Amino acid sequence: MSEDHVNEELVVAHVADNVTEAMVIRGLLQSAGIDSPGSVSSDPFPIPENPEGPHGTEIFVLESQVEAARKVIEEYTKSDAILEQESDESPEQS
């Protein structure tokens, strides 16, 4: 984070379904030049997520970058939804 933004608020730009999705989105944001501090764990053996039940990993960005971040995230979620739809519609091969 640059010195220009040290006093700037962090806001939630998106709530990812799981940690893996959050990592992908943070990578996309970083590629777009948007800072997104992630949770830093020093635990060498983290407890894996339970695949069932509600989860949510908040993705924080600087307040000045929230609109740009939401556009990047929207493009990602749209493309992901299209890929899922295409895979659901593809005929099964025997």
Q: What is the pLDDT of residue 55?
A: 61
CA dihedral 38, 25, 65, 72 (to 10 degrees): 180
pLDDT at 42: 47
β partners of residue 61: 11
Numbers of helices and strands, H then E, in the chain = 2, 2
What pLDDT, on a 0 to 100 scale, did the predictor assign at position 80?
Answer: 74
pLDDT at 7: 81
| SS3 category, 19 | helix
pLDDT at 6: 72
Specify whether domain 7-39+55-89 bears CATH 3.30.70: yes
Q: Report residues of the chain scoring pLDDT below 70.
A: 1-5, 39-55, 90-94
Q: What is the torsional sign of CA 27, 30, 36, 38?
A: positive
